[in-house]
Amino acid sequence: MREADVFGNGQVIRDEEVWVECTCAIQRKIERIVTASEITAEFQKMGFKNYQTDNDIRKEMRSLAVDYYKHFKDIRSTRENSIAFVGQVGCGKTHLLSAVSNGLMRECFVPVMYFPFVEMTESMSANNYEHKDTIIKKAQQAEVLFIDDLFKPATKEDREGNMIQLPRATPFEQKVMQAIINYRYLNNKPILLSSELDFATLLSINEALGSRLFEMCGDYTMQIEEDVMLNWRMRKLFK
């Protein structure tokens, strides 16, 4: 909106042009960003305030996520602009990264793409790989990519009949993730990463991929050692 020129004392005074975005327009912008993220309605409810910090590990995880969120704009365009929570099941890795995502979208207007590893790789391999290239390109170019449960283990039976867990890391799945992560690594595009696998295991699966992720996450990396007591879903049993 531009105010009229003001004449006084023989001088022309021109007010600066000021544009103000109305609240409803901002809300529509947020809604578009959130909808495009494909983050589920349940995950949209996850924030820092409703993350339970009932032990020191969970407190440390929350502190790291909050610190990353606060400094995101400063590190966004650097090589070490990402964050990773890896290890123990059920300790709140996805919750905290959802909280970061929700904050970036709603408070900073930064688009985030949610990439649940199992569902997305299955979608890519469906229908004779019809949508593979489209999904890969979208994941490569997203402002921020939230990779949830990278190489999530699947339960299988070994030769002796024992049920074991093996990472979902077929040559196809590795090739897909290599294409996505390598592009983002070279172009300094942030990744929010969760995985049940520690970095030693990720490196053993694919050293090039694992080392790029490790470098990108830098100081914002936390590996949670296996401890069923940290599994929030089991809290009623332990209490």
Per residue in 4-34, pLDDT tens? 333 333 444 344 444 444 566 655 644 555 4
- ∠ CA 112-103-111, nearest 5°, is 20
Per residue in 63-93, pLDDT tens? 999 999 999 999 999 999 999 999 999 899 9
Write down the pLDDT at residue 147.
96
Write down the pLDDT at residue 72.
97
Task: Indicate the average pLDDT of the chain.
Answer: 84
| Closest listed residue to residue 113, CA positions, set 35, 216, 222, 45 | 35
Domain boundaries, the chain: 37-238
Instruction: Inform me whether the pLDDT recorded for 232 exceeds 50.
Output: yes
Write down the pLDDT at residue 46.
86
pTM recorded for the entire structure? 0.82
The superfamily in CATH containing domain 37-238 is: P-loop containing nucleotide triphosphate hydrolases (3.40.50.300)
Share of the chain above pLDDT 90, in %: 60
Write down the pLDDT at residue 163.
76
Write down the pLDDT at residue 236.
65
Per residue in 100-123, pLDDT tens? 999 998 888 999 999 999 999 998
